[in-house]
Chain A
Amino acid sequence: MKSNRSLLPVTLARVAWPALLLCAICLGFIPRGFAAEKTETSPWSIQVEPVQAEEGQLPPDFSMAVYEDLIEQLVKTNKFRQVYRSGDHQADRVPNLLVLRMTLLNFERGNETARAVTTVKGATKVQVHLKVSPRDGKVLVEKDVQGTVRFFGENLKATVALAKDIAKTLGETSFPEPAKAAGQ
């Protein structure tokens, strides 16, 4: 009996670990659920323009990845009535349209192998300057945003991080009523 008692902490530890893990997972998911409920659809629609960069500064696969990832993330936020792509003729008829423009500030192409071997080297970074404005109105949002992949994953994951950050920024922004924005 005594030996059983001495093994009790070991047994408890074995049971406690999965239970703690389960709790951590639940706690991680619950706030996300609440955050998703909080997002309200604004009366605005948004049109995304591709990243503006000097020739040769941003590889085309990264440029397209930022553009496509951003559209995907903006749709996920449910913040905007409609998310339009660059050059979409349907956006011409939309009255309350915001235009999202990005200018490249910095791009560092890392190396996945260097990341896997050293952990501290080989990070991929994409930094852009973000501007959101109505068609002919004042700039409503202006911010520098960066996407980085430091440890695991391919270089293009930096664009996903960047897109998520931009979508989060816009999701948290309270845009003015369309009439007020036009009057400014």
Chain B
Amino acid sequence: MPTVRGNTRSCISLLLYRRATYGLRTLAPALLLVSLFCTSLYAQTATDTSSGASGVRAMHVLGLSGVKRNVHGTLTAQASGLNFAAKGAHGTVPIASIQDIFTGQDSRQVGGKVLTVAKIGVPYGGGRVLSLFSHEKVDSLTLEYRDANGALHGTVFSMPLGQAAVLKKQLVALGAHVSIPVESAPEKKEAGGNKQ
């Protein structure tokens, strides 16, 4: 009897092992394909966010009151100020209150949490390889402004490459105060360690 029990156990464990390895073998390419598809999809959506006549597609990183962090919306430079409009959220920075405008560049991984989790799930370090191809360069636009009480506020937006300088030019043309002229802005801001 003990031999029968031992045989049964070994059979079950062998079956489980085979099932697991078979599952892994079948799942690995599938996961890789899904991740690649997600990457291309996100990259496509990221490149589609170009500026139109109505404004620039941007992400609110932080600082704008009444708007949550990491919300995507449209950024528009108007005579009243810099407007950010997203689904169910809206914020404005009046031109007269702007103390300074800075532009910069950064590199980030696309796909958000979904792709990050998917990359972790890819076996044999495939997620790391995916990370090599799932990044994009973005512009950042930082505004320093003061409210009616003189309190200092800061807000940061992230947008497709090349759009921050355009917005800064528009804001300066509308009368916003800046410490660094538009033309020389990228060179001077690189000093902060922008190596990406």
Measured CB to CB, the residues of A under 8 A from B are 2-3, 6-7, 10, 50, 55-65, 67-69, 84-90, 107-109, 111-113, 116-118, 152, 154-156
Complex-state Cα separation, A63 to B100, whole angstroms: 13
A2 to B6, CA, bound (A): 11
Interface pairs A-B: 4 shortest CB-CB:
A64-B154, A56-B191, A59-B192, A116-B131
A-B contact pairs, 8 of them (CB 8 A): A6-B9, A60-B102, A60-B104, A64-B62, A64-B155, A89-B149, A116-B128, A155-B106
Is the beta-carbon distance between B154 and A6 smaller than 8 angstroms?
A: no
Do B149 and A56 touch (CB < 8 A)?
A: no
- B142, B151, B156, B188: which has the most chain A beta carbons within 10 Å? B151
Q: A56-B188, A112-B107 are in contact. Are A117 and B128 (CB under 8 A)?
A: yes
A85 to B144 Cα, complex, angstroms? 12
| A158 to B16 CA separation, bound complex (whole angstroms) | 44
Query: In chain B, residues 134-155, which have Cβ atoms closer than 8 Å to a Cβ of chain A?
Result: 135, 140, 142, 144, 146, 149-155
CA A3 to CA B13, docked complex, whole Å: 12
Instruction: Find chain B residues with CB under 8 A from A59 CB.
Output: 102, 104, 189, 192-194
| Contact present for A156 and B146 (CB under 8 Å) | no
**Interface presence of B170 (CB below 8 A):** no
Across the interface, A6 reaches (CB within 8 A) one of B12, B63, B102, namely B12
Q: Which of A61, A86, A90, A154 contacts B104 (CB 8 A)?
A: A61
Inside 8 A of A56's CB, which chain B residues have their CB? 188, 191-192
Q: Chain B residues near A65 (CB, 8 Å)? A: 61-62, 154, 156
Residues of chain B having any CB pair with chain A under 8 Å: 5, 8-9, 12, 16, 61-63, 100, 102, 104, 106-109, 116, 119, 127-128, 131-132, 135, 140, 142, 144, 146, 149-156, 188-189, 191-196
For A155, list chain B residues within 8 Å (CB): 106, 108
With contacts A2-B8, A60-B142, A86-B151 known, is A117 near B132, CB below 8 A? yes
Bound together, the chains give a CA A107 to CA B194 distance in angstroms of 11
Chain B's closest residue to A48 (CB) is: B152
Of A58, A59, A63, A109, most buried by chain B (CB within 10 Å of CB) is A59
A58: B residues at CB distance < 8 A: 192
A68 contacts B8, C-beta separation under 8 Å:
no
For A68, the chain B residues whose CB sits under 8 A away are: 62-63, 153-155
A61–B140 CB distance below 8 A: yes
In the assembly, what is the distance between CA of A86 and CA of B150, in Å?
Answer: 8
B132 and A113 contacting across the interface, CB-CB below 8 Å: yes
Are the C-beta atoms of B142 and A111 separated by less than 8 Å?
no
Docked Cα-Cα span, A2 to B194, in Å, equals: 66
- Smallest Cβ distance from A14 to chain B, in angstroms? 12
CB of B171 to closest CB in A, whole Å: 15
